[in-house]
Amino acid sequence: MSRHGPDKDIDESELEVHRRERSAAGVRGVAVSLGRSLRQMGPVRTAKTLPLLNQRDGFDCPGCAWPEPRDEEGGSRKWAEFCENGAKAVAEEATTRTVEPEFFERHSIEELAERTDYWLGQQGRLTQPMIRREGDTHYRPIEWQRAFEVIADGLRKVGPGRTSFYTSGRASNEAAFCYQLLARSFGTNNLPDCSNMCHESSGAALSETIGVGKGSVTLSDIEHADLVVVIGQNPGTNHPRMLSSLERTKQNGGGIVAVNPLPETGLMRFSNPQNVRGVVGSGTPLADEFAQVRVGGDLALFKAIGALLLRFEDEAPGTVVDREFVDNHTHGFREFAARGREIDWQEVERLTGLEQPQIERVARMFAESRSTVVCWAMGITQHRQAVPTIREIVNVQLLRGMIGKPGAGVCPVRGHSNVQGDRTMGIWERMPESFLAALDEEFALSVPRRPGWDTVETLRAMREGECAAFFALGGNFAAATPDSAATEAALRGCELTVQVSTKLNRSHVVPGRTALILPTLGRTERDRQSGGEQFVTVEDSMSVVHASRGRLEPASPDLLSEVAIVSELARTLLGEDHPVPWRAFAEDYDRIREHIARVVPGCADYNNRVREPDGFVLPHPPRDSRTFPTATGKANFTENVPDMIHLPEGRLLLQSLRSHDQYNTTIYGLSDRYRGIENARRVVLTNPTDIAELGLVEGQSVDLVSEWADGSGGIEERRAESFRVVAYETPRGCVAAYYPEANPLVPLDSVAEYSNTPVSKAVVVRIEPSRREVRQG
């Protein structure tokens, strides 16, 4: 068996642990990305594909949502405007490996369920619609039209109130708009999405405090900021092009603070492969200050920073608080200032794991900075107190007037390449009345008003038998959601499951009674419809909307675009006389965009503006004019009280994170290069002192057991077997394991306040010697 071929599954015993790398990217990154591309696509396709990535006439990277430089802001695109992990994302999609119907004849579903997501993904692109009928052991091919009829019948039988329509953040704006319109025309707002597990907390906190649930900065703001604070984010792996921006921040004289339990390599030093210094030198040092916070300690940290800023203001009035901004644009400052100066340092040090002098240094940096951008990602949003934490970050920004001016603002760094656009297009279980009314008016419909289920509510509804049909536009619901055992049982219990996918994954092998796989075009591929060759549009993390055109031949002639799949299903389900012109939508995406222009706020003249070379920027009142469309009409200061996570004796707080070689549940390979972990994934990164105190040894095989107070006095336990102990620079009491291997440990009912996001970054666990080893030994 070849080491890299599609036959090879993970052999956890091959684990190698090396020293952590000291600098991110560099030529090594280029070499890795080229190697992967050649292996998956071959030389010709590689040469054709990579130069089009993130270029104006090319396609948007299917990796992260980090923006491209725009002419308007004086940015110019590099010959290669992509990163190592973007190239891997493309190689994964543009691979020449395919999964044909014979594959499903050879492998039963039960057999496939034994495989890892890595092996499933390595098999290649799905090529034909497949169905598993009730009682079948294998998937079999089905004609497209027949598939739509089976699905339409199934949905009608179950009814809209018991159906859930999931979306993953890769769907284009056009596909997303059609999809929400299909769900609502059918009669439900059950539109959960990956964002429920991702930046929902950011949306909730920002809507309440500044009136818009999106980030308020541009690329240029980051590069020209006096200070950029990066919290709970690992950009070297998950947003590598952000490192080029941070390098420019430094070159322009700005400072960087990193707040993270782990010394992530990408935050420390960056060797830019696009310039000579990065290729031959040791690169640019990034973080000026690294605050190694305890998992879950950020709210206490930001409360302390806020209190210190008020004290600095008392000492030198008029130097810290931006009075002009606070008086004219905010609400609640008096209450905030009245309670804000007390700091119980003992408590703060306990909660944050940081020492007073460092917190004071960081607060000074906030106080002295003329323009500050705060960026954050999953290390903040996936906590029980995520929303209060983000509100507290906003308090600090408001105090200093750091919203709506150059070089300043809030920047939730989005995950999936179009997750923000999908929301703009109506993928949300609780879209506001104005949007629903606009749909009614535009299409002469009466869409339902009752709020729908989010991701966790969908799972609960399945558990209770209230949800019986599940349709997924992309993603890997079975592996991405918490509580894997319960989730898989819930999916298997459905009458009907449908997955629109590019590649095989876990969700296909835990099927409902009737289950379909609908293979679709990826973003790299040509999309030919009867109205000619089509392009789609997307929105990045900074509200820039632009076009994306695939250029590769599709992986199979039988693939349909997502828009075509949604439109065809809608015609079959809703009938030919439905008021929405579904057929025209699939023929020519300009027809969809004409409606988007009238329904979606900020999208007037959409068809013309997305044809501009750099697209256009959606309005953002706080950023554009310091207008805050909140309940008070001002930006709101809020009160937030940290409460300590209760950790019984001998227990640890587990965070689940991404390796350098995966895209969420898609495992590209087994090299977490920057952290020095190779060839295996079932590892638990543990502080060396904890290893000793718990009587463990490095390399030992252990089980992770999570403990969850079920609310009625009992403790629920969940076990994930056979992880290897790896000594790592993580704070005492805080351990880390990879997502999705850690997902069986996350209790479905452990969710963030206000956003209902699963708490994937703070699971109370104990570590036990591996049961398997004990049994064998």
Question: Site residues (CB under 5 A) for Mo ion?
Answer: 198, 415
Site string for ligand MGD, 518-557 (x = CB under 6 A): --x-xx----------------------------------
Where do runs of H (alpha helix) occur along 575-659? 582-587, 589-599, 606-609, 621-625
DSSP 491-557: HHT-SEEEEEESB--GGGSS--SEEEEEEB--TTB-EEETTEEE-EEEE-TTSEEEEE---BPPS-T
Smaller CB distance to ligand MGD: residue 395 or 505? 505
Residues 6+ positions from 118 with CB-CB distance below 8 Å: 9, 10, 667, 670, 681
Smaller CB distance to Mo ion: residue 255 or 415? 415
123 binds, among Mo ion, ligand MGD, none (CB under 5 to 8 A by kind): none
What is the closest distance, in whole angstroms, from the C-beta atom of residue 241 to ligand MGD in the complex? 10
Within 749-768, which residues bind ligand MGD (CB under 6 A)? 760-761
163 binds, among Mo ion, ligand MGD, none (CB under 5 to 8 A by kind): none
- CA nearest neighbour of 539 among 597, 594, 427, 615: 615
- Give the residue, chosen from 40, 202, 218, 237, that forms a contact with ligand MGD under the rule CB under 6 A: 237
Smaller CB distance to Mo ion: residue 409 or 415? 415
What is the closest distance, in whole angstroms, from the C-beta atom of residue 741 to ligand MGD in the complex? 9
What is the closest distance, in whole angstroms, from the C-beta atom of residue 413 to ligand MGD in the complex? 7
DSSP helix, strand, coil percent of the chain (3-state; round to 5): 40, 20, 40
What is the closest distance, in whole angstroms, from the C-beta atom of residue 210 to Mo ion in the complex? 21
What is d(CA 180, CA 566) in angstroms, rounded to the nearest whole number?
10
Smaller CB distance to ligand MGD: residue 232 or 622? 232
What is the closest distance, in whole angstroms, from the C-beta atom of residue 53 to ligand MGD in the complex? 14
560 lies in the binding site for ligand MGD (CB under 6 A)? no
Choose the stretch contacting ligand MGD; rule: CB under 6 A; options: 354-362, 374-382, 398-406, 490-498.
Answer: 374-382
228 lies in the binding site for ligand MGD (CB under 6 A)? no
- Give the residue, chosen from 185, 385, 665, 750, that forms a contact with ligand MGD under the rule CB under 6 A: 665
What is d(CA 488, CA 251) in angstroms, rounded to the nearest whole number?
49
DSSP 69-106: P-GGGT----SS---HHHHHHHHHHH-S-EE-HHHHHH
Contact between 196 and 455 (Cβ < 8 Å)? yes
473 lies in the binding site for ligand MGD (CB under 6 A)? yes
Which residue's structure tokens are 């009829």?
149
Beta bridge pairs of residue 544: 617
238 lies in the binding site for ligand MGD (CB under 6 A)? yes
458 lies in the binding site for ligand MGD (CB under 6 A)? no
What type of residue sits at position 456?
V
190 binds, among ligand MGD, Mo ion, none (CB under 5 to 8 A by kind): none
- Give the residue, chosen from 211, 379, 452, 669, that forms a contact with ligand MGD under the rule CB under 6 A: 379
Other C-beta atoms closer than 10 Å to the C-beta of 143 total 12
What is the closest distance, in whole angstroms, from the C-beta atom of residue 657 to ligand MGD in the complex? 4
Within 139-168, which residues bind ligand MGD (CB under 6 A)? 168
Contact between 374 and 256 (Cβ < 8 Å)? no
- Give the residue, chosen from 69, 203, 278, 475, that forms a contact with ligand MGD under the rule CB under 6 A: 475
Residues 6+ positions from 70 with CB-CB distance below 8 Å: 219, 544, 614
Other C-beta atoms closer than 10 Å to the C-beta of 57 total 10
What is the closest distance, in whole angstroms, from the C-beta atom of residue 763 to Mo ion in the complex? 18
672 lies in the binding site for ligand MGD (CB under 6 A)? no
Which residue's structure tokens are 């209902």?
756
211 lies in the binding site for ligand MGD (CB under 6 A)? no
742 lies in the binding site for ligand MGD (CB under 6 A)? yes
Beta bridge pairs of residue 331: 636
DSSP 133-199: -TT-SS-EE--HHHHHHHHHHHHHHH-GGGEEEEE-TTS-HHHHHHHHHHHHHHT-----BGGGGTT
What is d(CA 413, CA 692) in angstroms, rounded to the nearest whole number?
37
Write out the residues near ligand MGD by the rule CB under 6 A.
63-64, 85, 168-170, 194, 197-198, 231-234, 237-239, 259-262, 264, 293, 295-296, 298, 377-379, 382, 415-416, 473-477, 480, 500-503, 505, 520, 522-523, 562, 655-658, 662-666, 739, 742-743, 746, 760-761
